[in-house]
Amino acid sequence: MIQDEVPMAYDFQHLQTIHCFDAITIRVPARWDCGPDWELRGSWCCCKDGEESGTLWITLDRFQGPGNADGASGFDLRGFVDAMVDDIMSENSDPTLENDIVDIEGGYLWKRIFDGVEEGENLRYFRYKFFKCRENEVAIADFNFVLLASDLGDPEFLDLIQIMDREIRAARVEP
């Protein structure tokens, strides 16, 4: 080891692949334990109990959009996305630091970054929603990555933010 080099305490670079809801595949830090969150029914949680090294919650909603007998979709996915984003933004008072909708294969990805407080802790939320449609099958996958605001200046956590952004954007989400 080089004399000035300090070993990373969390080693977020080593990743594991997880599969959830039979529809989502994503890589997350190997140090995190991942599985269904029994307290938040219908979600998966990835974190390391006993340490503040970030948390990722994943949820999936599926529904049938309008379609006809031959399976062709009459569903306006972009209109649906815009309406949902407008609703969420109008109901939320937390200051938004980033808000962007991008086209992805089979749908759209909405990313929103905002600060909030939960149980007295200042937090930074990195929220990603995949909106995907195949024929008249619609899936909304929500990735809610949360860090303590006090960790935002730490180079290790800045790396984790980049890793999670890359891995969430690369996640496989199937309707």
* 13-69 confidence digits (pLDDT tens): 899 999 999 999 999 999 999 999 877 778 999 999 888 889 999 999 998 877 644
Domain CATH number, residue 40: 3.40.1000.10
How far from 101 is each of 42, 84, 94, 147, CA to CA, in Å?
25, 12, 18, 22
More confident residue, 9 or 115: 115
Per-residue pLDDT band for 74 (boundaries 50, 70, 90) equals low
pLDDT of residue 5: 53
Is 3 part of a structural domain of the chain?
Answer: no
Answer whether residue 56 is part of any domain.
yes
pLDDT of residue 1: 42
The mean pLDDT of the chain is: 88
- Residue 9: its pLDDT value, please? 76
**pLDDT tens digit string along 84-143?**
999 988 887 778 899 999 999 989 999 999 999 999 999 999 999 999 988 778 899 999
Inside any domain, residue 10: no
Task: Evaluate whether 103 touches 81 at the Cβ level (below 8 Å).
Answer: no
State phi, psi for 167 to the nearest 5 degrees.
-75, -35
Q: Is residue 143 part of a domain?
A: yes
- In the chain, the number of structural domains is 1
Question: In the chain, helix, strand, coil percent, each to 5?
Answer: 20, 45, 35
1 lies in a domain? no
153, part of any domain:
yes
Question: How far is the C-alpha of 135 from the C-alpha of 72, rounded, in Å?
Answer: 6
Q: According to the model, what pLDDT value does residue 68 have?
A: 47
Domain that includes residue 76, residue range: 15-168
Q: In angstroms, what CA-CA distances link 40 with 25, 37, 44, 91, 136?
A: 20, 5, 8, 21, 28
Q: Is residue 142 part of a domain?
A: yes
Q: Cα separations (Å) of 70 from 74, 136, 137?
A: 11, 10, 13
Query: Taking 60 as the threshold, does the pLDDT of residue 71 lie above it?
Result: no
